[in-house]
A and B are shown apart, each in its own frame.
Chain A
């Protein structure tokens, strides 16, 4: 029973990281109708910036996290301006946007690989003692990762549903052209959306790095976020979070009780089974309903 509860807590914290990633994808997808493949590059970039800030610049953890967030936001908005915006202005097909994003991703990941090398590094945070509650040990980092991820998601919810800018983003997600006719600043919305993406990917990268390791290909984990958002049901943020939690818990249970080698195989088989029996995902909303 203790093992089960430990796995559950660990699964929830992994699920929280997946939901940050899944929400980041869903946000860009709902407004601009393409998948931001560069997202996993951003995630690795965020983790490595946090890593560098602590090891080379000797910053404390919180300052390093802030440093990483700021740089990742700059990278994300810069990518928008240089790689996506020119295509969008020309009304290029979605395939072209995807390829462009793929290019940004390839370049980012391989530049990181060139500079830091492909080795796995431990994220330099001191080993916090786990908390014991009635014989169950719970990692403080798990709690922190889960808590902060949910905090970020709650802030995002407040931003989207309780501010004027959020209203602008939601309007753009329904119809970007009409929204701009109604006086919404399109390029402003783009900057805000990609800045949010940068924050999400950086936070997810740092926590994923703490939980596992920091390495250039770490962004491959974003495929799990995609699987999670398909499992939950495409086109809505709550469904993406639900799918992420289910996937995170399932994965930790599989690696705890069956085999950690085949963990990724299980998540992929889970996707196929879900697609066969619930073609619209678990929450099964119609894809017109966004955000």
Chain B
């Protein structure tokens, strides 16, 4: 039972992060390979809020997500304002996530040098010196509370899916889809490119941050090595295999991509090689992904209901 719990929890966390990438890459057409950085920011921030300031766990997670979202503006504003092409935006996200990891790797030595500082720029940061030492750099931020359990994760996934669905069917979501189809045409129709992209990036980073927070409170510790480029590739893989412009597709693949590596531990090192070849094969033979362009709805349920219902009617008539 414990093993199944673990898989459900890790799968659920991956689903939430993958939903974030789906909103940005799937719906807005902005390619990201740095979402692990937002996960790291959200995770560390919510851990700090809960452990150091005693903020209740759900609020801590939301604050962590919001912090990740706000940090996304650091790359979002300059990149979108200068109309950076999609490819180069991806570079900016990758650079951002690597820079975040570099900073987190060195929090301990930074904190120690600030504590030791007598004058100069170190004094400005004096109040956060002890906190930086606690974050522990490469060794990790230890002994966090661990309130994340199956119930919390399932509720979080349902809420995340619900709000993502609301977002992509709202006017903002429609603007995002318009941008992914044709930026110039969208702008002609009065879509504010900068604002829409920033909103999509904020929501996407918020999701990643929430996932990072849940992860922190499941493992009860955090190290920067959780959030490498491999993590970002995994999230991208979930969206590519699940399907462009679909929420339910990335949800399914986001879960499968956690379950399969767990079951096939012996092939762990082959995983990314297989993903790589699958990327190419999927793009050539089924570029829309598993469930590309499939809106999440319950039409299929209605269709089944009608079928059964009508059959009954028919039999009554007959």
Which A residues are within 8 Å of any B CB, using their own CB? 29, 34-35, 82-83, 86-87, 92, 94-100, 102-111, 113-114, 220, 223, 226-227, 230, 234, 261-262, 264-265, 267-269, 271-272, 275-276, 279-280
Residues A99 and B81 in contact in the complex (CB < 8 Å), given A106-B272, A110-B272, A262-B102: no
Using CB atoms, name the residue of chain B closest to A272: B78
A139 CA to B149 CA in the complex, in Å? 57
20 pairs from A and B in contact (CB 8 Å cutoff): A83-B280, A86-B284, A95-B29, A98-B90, A99-B236, A99-B282, A100-B279, A100-B283, A100-B284, A103-B277, A103-B279, A104-B280, A107-B273, A227-B95, A234-B88, A262-B102, A265-B99, A268-B98, A272-B78, A279-B82
Contact with A along B241-263 (1 / 0, CB 8 A): 00010000000000000000000
Question: Main SS of chain A's interface residues?
Answer: helix
Q: Bound state CA distance, A103 and B82, in angstroms?
A: 28
| Chain B residues positioned under 8 Å from A234 (CB to CB) | 85, 88
Which B residues touch A109, using CB under 8 A?
272
Contact digits for B83-100, partner A, Cβ 8 Å, 1 yes 0 no: 111111011101110110
The 5 closest A-B pairs by CB, nearest first: A103-B279, A107-B276, A279-B82, A106-B276, A35-B87
Q: Which residues of B contact A92 (CB under 8 A)?
A: 283, 287
Asked whether A272 and B287 contact (CB < 8 A) given A226-B91, A230-B84, A279-B82, the answer is no
Greatest chain B CB density within 10 A among A86, A98, A103, A107 is at A103
User: Which residue from A34, A99, A280 sits with its C-beta under 8 Å from B279?
Assistant: A99
Taking the closest CB of chain B, its distance from the CB of A122, in whole angstroms, is: 24
CB distance from B96 to the nearest CB of A (A): 7
- Report the minimum CB–CB distance from A215 to chain B (whole Å): 14
* Candidates B86, B91, B269, B278; contact of A103 at CB < 8 Å: B278
Q: Mark B176-211, 1 if CB is under 8 A from A, else 0.
A: 000000000000000000000000000000000000
In the complex, which of the residues A34, A82, A226 has the most CB atoms of chain B within 10 Å of its own CB atom?
A226
Contacts of A227 in B (CB 8 A): 91, 95
- Chain A residue with Cβ nearest B78: A275
B31→A264 contact, CB < 8 A: no
Please judge, given known A-B contacts A264-B98, A268-B96, A268-B99, whether A110 and B91 are in contact too, CB under 8 Å: no
- CB pair B79 A87 closer than 8 Å: no
B87 touching A29, Cβ below 8 Å:
yes
CB distance from B272 to the nearest CB of A (A): 4
Q: Does the CB pair A95–B91 fall under 8 Å?
A: no
Chain B residues lying within 8 Å of A110, measured Cβ to Cβ, are 269, 272-273, 276
Q: Does B33 contact A (CB under 8 A)?
A: yes
Cβ 8 A contact of B95, one of A96, A97, A268: A268
In the complex, the answer to whether A265 meets B287 with C-beta atoms within 8 Å is: no
Chain A residues positioned under 8 Å from B74 (CB to CB): 272
Contact A102 B99 (CB under 8 A): no
Q: Give the CA-CA distance A261 to B96 in the complex, in Å.
A: 16
* Most interface-central of A106, A234, A280 (chain B CB within 10 A): A106
Bound complex: CA of A268 vs CA of B273, how far in Å?
29
Q: Which residues of B contact A102 (CB under 8 A)?
A: 33, 233, 236, 279
CB contacts (< 8 Å) of A96 on chain B: these are: 283, 287
B219 interface residue (CB < 8 Å to A) = no
The residue in chain B whose Cβ has the minimal distance to the Cβ of A281 is B82
Confirm or deny: B275 has a beta carbon within 8 angstroms of a beta carbon on chain A. yes
Instruction: Decide: B284 and A87 in contact? CB cutoff 8 A.
Output: yes
Contact A99 B240 (CB under 8 A): yes
CA–CA, A171 to B85, complex, Å?
A: 22
